[in-house]
């Protein structure tokens, strides 16, 4: 997979992976948001399960 | 080989690039030092927790830091750039802070965005850590995380955009000046913590049936005190991050007024010292001496760039005296269990700082049309910061409490959150931390972990 937005460093500005592909950036961003939200949701579920023994 | 003298244009480019790289280096190390604040908060909160909760408090603190970073990337930085007018966003000014902007990643044409974002992330994480200590030993981890994200990536940064920004409306309209973010960071976080602790309630056993406070001692006072000292070390990075590095020109505050690191050095150390002495005078306790050091710095923070150093010292003493008394007052009078005195140290300390600069004011602003620093400007701005922290903290935690989502079950609290949530023991080979009432399933899980 070619993730580089540049073919030369001469005159390069934003050079991070997929900087020239808004779609790819959006997909990666959405996955990162989902992972963050998912971790909080997982924490809620973990606690709900854990507290069963302590109700 | 013939050597040719560099042209003026080449020299100009060299000077500009040197300035740019020096700017990056400066904020890089400020950010690194600020990480020490979190090492301090980690030790401080774990030490202030009873043995049965030490690890859970640590996990909570670490997770707050971890969740602030991505959420501040997703929307926190944008809020800062967009909301300086109040509640009307400036979409154009904030475009560079959108998470899909080409400024929000490695970019050879932008040496500033990442390094400023990083420094602000650490300020954000500091607000979450301030709040974290107040609610130890009984808050649900997930509800804490949600509240920490709201505080660290929304609420405080809105306050920063209003009153800790080159053109924030508090400065433009009222001449507000707050060099060290006593308002946006400390008051907002302290008042947010106060709002949450009201709805969260006290730890079991914190008050006798007749309302008499019963002190709950943490398991390691030395760990707490060393943690507090680490926070002080980290605050030198924090305060360095409050200064704008302008390359070949004089340093400025975030409001554009000129400042020197020498000024901040004088006043930070004098206020730090005053805070310790003031707290020693009224408590004689090492916990409050170090907390007083923090309160002392916050009590002078808005004018660390302006004060005559002995005045910073006196303001530090004031913070060091008032913080433990304020904590005692809210504990005795309102039965609020703020486990580490976060509201008193940060909320009250920050309030003293902002009002203090209002008393010793008169300095001109440089933002076009902004009035000079004044008592009323500082007073009104302090009110805004207090409400900005308290209202969302109280409101959100009130809803969570009504949903029975804010606090752990009483039996889990009695048992200790380490064995219930983590589940591990902090010191498995030394002091037994748990009673024999632990459910068999949990004992097995701990043994196999």
d(CA B319, CA A11): 53
Query: What pLDDT score was predicted for residue B331?
Result: 97
pLDDT of res. B434: 56
Which of B67, B102, B415 is closest, CB to CB, to A54? B415
Residues of B in contact with A43 (CB under 8 A): 141-142, 145
Q: Which pLDDT score is estimated for B1?
A: 59
ipTM reported for the complex, 2 dp: 0.96
B70, B107, B411 member nearest A54 (Cβ): B411
Q: Which phi and psi angles does A9 have, rounded to 5°?
A: -80, -15
CA distance A49 to chain B (A): 10
A29 neighbors A35 (Cβ within 8 angstroms): no
User: A55–B409: do the CB atoms touch at under 8 Å?
Assistant: yes
Chain A residue whose CA is closest to B111? A13
Find out whether B388 and B159 touch, Cβ atoms under 8 Å: yes
Going residue by residue through chain B (449 aa), what tens digit of pLDDT does each one get?
Answer: 567 888 999 999 999 899 999 999 999 999 999 999 999 999 999 999 999 999 999 999 999 999 999 999 999 999 999 999 999 999 999 999 999 999 999 999 999 999 999 999 999 999 999 999 999 999 999 999 999 999 999 999 999 999 999 999 999 999 999 999 999 999 999 999 999 999 999 999 999 999 999 999 999 999 999 999 999 999 999 999 999 998 778 999 999 999 999 999 999 999 999 999 999 999 999 999 999 999 999 999 999 999 999 999 999 999 999 999 999 999 999 999 999 999 999 999 999 999 999 999 999 999 988 999 999 999 999 999 999 999 999 999 999 999 999 999 999 999 999 998 888 888 887 765 555 455 544 444 444 43
Two tokens, residue B141: 């981890």
- Burial of residue B435 (CB within 10 Å: 0-12, 13-18, 19+) is exposed
Nearest to A12 among B108, B146, B408 (CB): B108
Two structure tokens written together for B290: 């170090």
Q: Which residue has the tokens 């709950």?
A: B216
Alpha-carbon distance of B282 to B322, in angstroms, equals 9
**Which token pair is B52?**
């049965």
- CB-CB contact of A12 with A22 (8 Å): no
Task: Please tell me which of the candidates A15, A25, A43 has its beta carbon nearest to residue B141.
Answer: A43
The pLDDT score that the predictor gives to residue B387 is: 98
DSSP conformation class of B17: H
Q: A43: closest CA among B67, B415, B143, B139? A: B143
**What is the pLDDT, as a whole number, of residue B249?**
87
Asked whether the CA dihedral B60, B62, B65, B67 is positive or negative, the reply is negative
- CB of B335 closer than 8 Å to CB of B304: no
- Mean of pLDDT values over A19-45: 96
Task: Supply the pLDDT for residue B6.
Answer: 87
Residues of A in contact with B421 (CB under 8 A): 46-47, 50
Give B19-27's long-range contacts (Cβ < 8 A, gap of 24+).
B19/B247, B19/B248, B20/B111, B20/B247, B21/B111, B22/B245, B22/B247, B23/B111, B23/B112, B23/B115, B23/B245, B23/B247, B24/B111, B24/B115, B26/B240, B26/B245, B27/B115, B27/B116, B27/B118, B27/B119, B27/B241, B27/B245
Q: How close A1 gets to chain B, by Cα (Å)?
A: 19
- Pairs across A and B, CB distance < 8 A: 70
């Amino acid at each position: 997979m070619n993730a580089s937005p540049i073919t030369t460093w001469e005159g390069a500005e934003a050079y991070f992976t997929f900087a020239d592909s808004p779609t790819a950036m959006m997909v990666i961003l959405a996955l990162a948001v989902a992972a963050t939200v998912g971790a909080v949701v997982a924490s809620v579920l973990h606690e709900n399960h854990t507290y069963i023994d302590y109700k | 080989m013939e050597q040719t003298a560099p042209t003026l244009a080449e020299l100009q480019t060299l000077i500009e690039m040197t300035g740019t790289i020096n700017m990056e280096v400066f904020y890089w190390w400020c950010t690194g030092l600020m990480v020490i604040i979190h090492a301090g908060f980690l030790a401080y909160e774990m030490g202030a927790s009873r043995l049965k909760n030490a690890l859970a408090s640590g996990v909570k603190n670490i997770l707050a830091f971890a969740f602030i970073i991505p959420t501040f990337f997703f929307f926190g930085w944008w809020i800062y750039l967009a909301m300086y007018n109040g509640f009307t966003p400036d979409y154009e000014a904030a475009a560079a802070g959108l998470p899909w902007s080409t400024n929000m990643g490695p970019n050879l044409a932008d040496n500033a965005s990442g390094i400023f974002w990083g420094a602000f992330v650490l300020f954000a994480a500091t607000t979450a850590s301030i709040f974290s200590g107040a609610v130890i030993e009984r808050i649900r981890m997930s509800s804490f995380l949600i509240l920490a994200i709201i505080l660290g990536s929304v609420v405080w940064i809105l306050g920063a955009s209003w009153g800790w920004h080159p053109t924030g409306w508090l400065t433009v309209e009222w001449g507000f000046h707050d060099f060290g973010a006593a308002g946006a960071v400390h008051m907002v976080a302290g008042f947010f913590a106060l709002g949450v602790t009201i709805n969260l309630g006290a730890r079991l056993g914190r008050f006798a049936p007749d309302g008499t406070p019963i002190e709950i001692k943490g398991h390691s006072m030395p760990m707490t005190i060393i943690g507090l000292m680490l926070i002080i070390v980290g605050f030198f990075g924090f305060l360095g991050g409050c200064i704008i590095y302008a390359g070949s020109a004089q340093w400025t505050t975030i409001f554009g007024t000129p400042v020197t690191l020498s000024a901040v050095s004088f006043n930070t150390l004098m206020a730090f010292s005053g805070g310790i002495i003031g707290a020693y005078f009224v408590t004689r306790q090492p916990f409050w001496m170090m907390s007083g050091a923090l309160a002392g710095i916050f009590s002078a923070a808005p004018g660390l760039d302006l004060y005559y150093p002995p005045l910073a010292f006196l303001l530090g003493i004031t913070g060091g005296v008032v913080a433990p008394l304020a904590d005692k007052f809210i504990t005795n009078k309102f039965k609020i269990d703020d486990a580490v005195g976060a509201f008193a140290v940060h909320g009250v300390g920050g309030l003293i700082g902002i009002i203090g600069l209002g008393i010793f004011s008169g300095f001109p602003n440089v933002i076009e049309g902004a009035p000079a620093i004044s008592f009323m400007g500082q007073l009104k701005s302090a009110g805004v910061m207090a409400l900005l922290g308290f209202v969302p903290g109280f409101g959100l935690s009130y809803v969570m409490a009504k949903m029975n989502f804010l606090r752990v079950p009483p039996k889990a609290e009695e048992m200790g959150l380490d064995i219930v949530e983590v589940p591990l023991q902090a010191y498995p080979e030394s002091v037994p931390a748990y009673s024999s009432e632990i459910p068999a399933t949990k004992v097995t899980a701990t043994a196999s972990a």
